[in-house]
């Protein structure tokens, strides 16, 4: 029978602490790696903070330049929707731009989901003269056709602008309560009077569409001039342009007739 002898064991020639794993070496490695991560993270923070501060300082001039460019552009953009549109005139009376008109010379312009803006056109305002008081309904008021929408007053003369459709008052131009003159200085923009929600479409015999409003308005101007001043009316040097004191040509009896014929 063959006998297999055990291999002799020779002492290791590897110095202590080198070569194969030693007891506890795995735990020591994990501790070392964790320590290195902490040190590395701390160094990263210490280095990043000054770098970020430096970038802020360096980029500040660029930010200032961008601000100098952006601010005027933003101001210009923000002003554009609020500037008075280009207004055509007929005998010096401003023609409503792209607005619907009622037979009583109130203008209407839809404001998307915010209802309809309402104001007075320039023919009414020039006939009445500088407005001294604007009388408004309460917000939330419900109006039926023929109700007074708002009133404009100068001295003892007053125009009651009536609504030709049922509507609810959504908002008021409160500025007009303290600055009624704005209704005349900017009638088609800042001088808007009310914001309403109509109960039906803006159409009917008492409403002129945006397409026909301009021509109809010019005819009304000519009619009023012929009614008030058969003789040449006060004009500026270029001729044919009504002066601001046109309302003074309208005496009391004529005013009542004009109000009932044009603005009721």
Q: What is the mean pLDDT of each run of 10 residues along the chain (264 residues)?
A: 41 43 54 68 68 63 53 42 66 93 96 91 96 97 96 97 95 97 95 95 91 95 85 50 82 94 94
Asked whether residue 144 falls in the same domain as residue 206, the answer is: yes
Residue 149 confidence (pLDDT): 96
pTM: 0.65
Both 239 and 144 in a single domain?
yes
pLDDT for position 114: 87
Asked if residue 138 and residue 79 are part of one domain, the reply reads no
Closest CA relative to residue 193, chosen from 173, 207, 213: 173
Residue 1 is predicted with a pLDDT of 41
| Domains held by the chain: number | 2
Same domain flag for 66 and 134? no
Q: What is the pLDDT of residue 10?
A: 36
Q: Give the pLDDT score at 57.
A: 66
58 occurs within a structural domain = yes
| Whether residue 205 sits in one domain with residue 125 | yes
Q: pLDDT (tens digit, 9 = 90+) per residue, 190-202?
A: 999 999 999 988 9
Q: Which residues contact 92 (CB under 8 A, 6 or more apart)?
A: 235, 236, 240, 241, 242, 243
CB count within 10 Å of CB 176 equals: 24
Q: Same structural domain for residues 94 and 212?
A: yes
32 assigned to some structural domain:
no
Q: What is the per-residue pLDDT for 28?
A: 62
For residue 220, the enclosing domain spans 89-262
**9, HSE (Cβ side, Cα atoms, 13 Å):** 1
Count how many Cα atoms sit within 13 Å of the Cα of residue 83 in the half-sphere of its side chain.
Answer: 8
Q: Residue 44 falls within a domain, yes or no?
A: yes
Please classify residue 29 by burial: count the beta carbons closer than 10 Å to its beta carbon, then call 0-12 exposed, 13-18 middle and 19+ buried: exposed
Q: Which residues, 6 or more positions from 262, have their beta carbon under 8 angstroms from its beta carbon?
A: 104, 105, 123, 124, 127, 220, 223, 224
What local confidence, expressed as pLDDT, does residue 73 receive?
Answer: 47
Q: Are residues 70 and 121 in the same domain?
A: no
Closest CA to 216 of 224, 204, 208, 206: 208
**Do 145 and 236 belong together in one domain?**
yes
């Amino acid at each position: 029978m063959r006998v297999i002898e055990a291999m002799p064991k020779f002492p290791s020639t590897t110095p202590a602490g080198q070569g194969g794993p030693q007891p506890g070496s795995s735990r020591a490695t994990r501790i070392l790696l964790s320590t290195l991560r902490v040190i590395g993270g701390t160094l990263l923070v210490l280095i990043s903070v000054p770098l970020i501060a430096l970038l802020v300082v360096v980029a500040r001039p660029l930010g200032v330049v961008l601000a100098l460019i952006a601010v005027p552009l933003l101001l210009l953009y923000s002003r554009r929707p609020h500037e008075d549109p280009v207004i055509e005139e007929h005998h010096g009376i401003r023609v409503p731009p792209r607005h619907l008109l009622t037979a009583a010379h109130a203008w209407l312009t839809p404001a998307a989901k915010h209802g309809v803006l309402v104001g007075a056109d320039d023919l009414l305002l020039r006939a009445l003269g500088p407005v001294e008081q604007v009388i408004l309904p309460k917000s939330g008021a419900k109006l039926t056709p023929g109700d007074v929408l708002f009133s404009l007053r100068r001295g003892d003369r007053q125009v009651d602008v009536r609504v030709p459709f049922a509507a609810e008052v959504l908002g008021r131009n409160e500025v007009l309560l303290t600055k009624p003159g704005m209704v005349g200085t900017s009638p088609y923009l800042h001088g808007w009077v009310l914001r309403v929600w109509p109960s039906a479409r803006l159409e009917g015999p008492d409403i002129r569409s945006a397409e026909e409003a301009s021509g109809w308005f010019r005819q009304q101007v000519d009619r009023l001039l012929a009614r008030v001043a058969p003789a040449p009316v006060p004009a500026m040097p270029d001729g044919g342009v009504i002066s601001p004191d046109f309302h003074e040509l309208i005496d009391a009896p004529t005013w009542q007739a004009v109000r009932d014929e044009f603005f009721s």
